[in-house]
Amino acid sequence: MAIIEANSLRKVYLSEGVETVALDDVSLSVEPGEFVAIMGPSGSGKSTLLHILGFLDRYSEGTYFFEGKEMSEYSETELAHARNKKMGFVFQSFNLLSRTPLIENVKLPLLYSHVPESHWRKMAMDAIEAVGLEHRLNHHPAQLSGGEKQRAAIARALVLKPDVIFADEPTGNLDSRSGQLVMETLQHLNEAHGHTIVLITHETYTAEHAHRIIHIKDGTVDKEETVRRRHRATEHFEK
């Protein structure tokens, strides 16, 4: 069963009586363990689509099933629980607390969970080790490079072992070398640990780390392609 299945999604924003169509008749599915890139230029609707898939926004028309359950069947409490427990989010701007050490940043999702506090450090350490940042445990964000900040954000997204990681332009604020390392990190998590990843990007070299690329143009699916990966993920991260 597909973990994500969207059918004929349409999203319309209304502002001062004017309708703006952000998505129009978008259908897609993502299987467990798959790495899918949603690619398109600025304004194409790809971030709107991610917000719907990640339960951060609602669609206007269509259906969206997450793990076999239609979004309209979730209560607000269930939506919040799914966002916290079943979904991990990585954004372009990192969203780290500046005066908080890396390990405490990674623990943040645990504050809103039912996990006993006695387990928090072990879970945070597992996530940090998965992205190769165990040597930066007590560093503050200002002491980290851009790539390390994003890998810390990935660790935070991993800490509750979500079913899906949503990454919205994760390399957008990074130089090409740091961006490559971040993408290798995500690819390694997919290949070695089986994490399902949905990536939003406008960059070809970033999208090519996925198994499949869904191209979005003017709010609709323009085409899909299967990727023959030219990149190989590495388990060795810069120290």
**β-bridge partners, 37:** 199, 213
Phi–psi pair at 155, nearest 5 degrees: -60, -40
Quick check: 229 pLDDT over 80?
no
Distance CA 38, CA 78 (A): 26
Distance CA 43, CA 126 (A): 37
Quick check: 172 pLDDT over 50?
yes
Neighbours of 7 (CB within 10 A): 14
* Average pLDDT estimate for 73-96: 93
Structure-derived torsion over alpha carbons of residues 115, 120, 125, 130, reported in degrees to the nearest 10 = 20
Q: Are strands 212-217 and 220-226 parallel, antiparallel or unpaired?
A: antiparallel
Per-domain residue ranges of the chain? 31-56+75-238
What integer pLDDT is reported at residue 113 of this predicted model? 87
Please write down the HEC assignment for all residues of 210-231.
CCEEEEEECCEEEEEEECCCCC
Which of 64, 91, 92, 94 has its CA nearest to residue 79?
Answer: 64
The CATH number assigned to the domain with range 31-56+75-238 reads 3.40.50.300
Distance CA 90, CA 105 (A): 13
Distance CA 229, CA 82 (A): 31
**β-bridge partners, 38:** 200, 214
* Average pLDDT estimate for 122-138: 94
- Tens of pLDDT, residue by residue over 28-73, are 999 999 999 999 998 899 999 999 999 999 999 999 999 999 999 9
* Average pLDDT estimate for 15-21: 90
Which tokens go with 5?
């299945």
**β-bridge partners, 165:** 88, 197
Listed in sequence order, the DSSP H helices in the chain are 46-53, 76-81, 102-107, 120-130, 146-158, 176-193, 204-207
- Considering the chain, what percentage of its residues have pLDDT values greater than 90? 84
Lookup result for tokens 């990536």: 199
* Average pLDDT estimate for 72-80: 95
- In this prediction, residue 193 has a pLDDT band, given cuts at 50, 70 and 90, of confident
Which tokens go with 6?
């969207």
Which tokens go with 20?
């703006």
User: What does the mean pLDDT of the chain come to?
Assistant: 92
CA distances from 205 to 54, 210, 230 (A): 24, 10, 10
Quick check: 225 pLDDT over 50?
yes
